[in-house]
Amino acid sequence: MIDLHTHTLLSDGELLPFELVRRAVSAGYKAIGITDHVDVSNMDYAIPRVVKAAQRLKGLVPIDIVPGVEITHAPPALIGDMVKEARELGACLVIVHGETLAEPVLEGTNRAAIEAEADILAHPGLISIEDILLANEKSVALEITSRKGHSISNGHVAQMAIKFGAQIVINTDSHSPGDLITRGQAEKILMGAGIGKERVPLVFETSRNILEKALRRI
């Protein structure tokens, strides 16, 4: 399993980075992105600490660890600059918290994230055709999620992405130990979203490509 969207005690998760990684290894993960929630108030706090944890574990655990962030509930006008700042601070993976149906995310967030060329647009809700087409052009991946609440629009995201050619990834948005999933569970979630079995390997290939790109930034 390659899971590029998880959280720790540095935002609203339950685990320290070391424990999250240990549990991911135990669950059979091959790679994990640690992407705590940030806005302008804590970006310079969270990113260096995740980077430090990833550096200290390098070579000691059988898993790739990618330090990143999830820009969360930021006004769309700020997202472009925040993506740039996150990368400058050492985030090798930048996710933007999309227009999920489970929270009052500002309209225009999806578009701003795509225009800023974030790596992944998380749980983008009822994403529009225009934004899907732009995501395809900018190579921004759209997230299918296993997380309760955010997952209610998985079917829409999957079908729109397939129809208009956008990239898809599957992540857990883990906040607690029980949120981690196996690759087999991920496959079932993808098929439950309407992604045919023959397309499932392409989703994991997209995650692998994003992972490799992120690791080159370390």
| CATH code: domain of residue 38 | 3.20.20.140
How far apart are alpha carbons 98 and 127 in whole angstroms?
9
Please tell me the predicted confidence (pLDDT) of residue 17.
98
Confidence of residue 192 (pLDDT cuts 50, 70, 90): very high
Domain of residue 167, residue span: 2-216
Predicted local distance difference test score (pLDDT) of residue 47: 98
Beta-sheet strand order (sheet of 64-71): 2-6, 31-38, 64-71, 93-97, 120-122, 141-145, 168-171
Report the pLDDT value the prediction gives residue 188, as an integer from 0 to 100.
98
Q: What does DSSP assign to residue 141?
A: E
Span 69-93, pLDDT tens digits: 999 999 999 999 999 999 999 999 9
What's the whole-number mean pLDDT along residues 210-216?
97
What angle (nearest 5°) sits at the alpha carbon of residue 143, between those of residues 67 and 212?
A: 45
Tell me what the mean pLDDT of segment 161-184 comes to: 97
Q: Which residue has the tokens 């759209």?
A: 142
Mean pLDDT, range 137-149, rounded to an integer = 98
Provide the domain count of the chain: 1
Over residues 3-18, the mean pLDDT reads 98
Summarised one tens digit per residue, pLDDT across range 16-42 is 999 999 999 999 999 999 999 999 999
Q: What is the mean pLDDT of residues 100-117?
A: 98
Mean per-residue pLDDT of the chain = 98
Q: What is the pLDDT of residue 19?
A: 98
The reported pLDDT for the residue numbered 98 is 98
Round the CA-based radius of gyration of the chain to a whole number and report it: 16
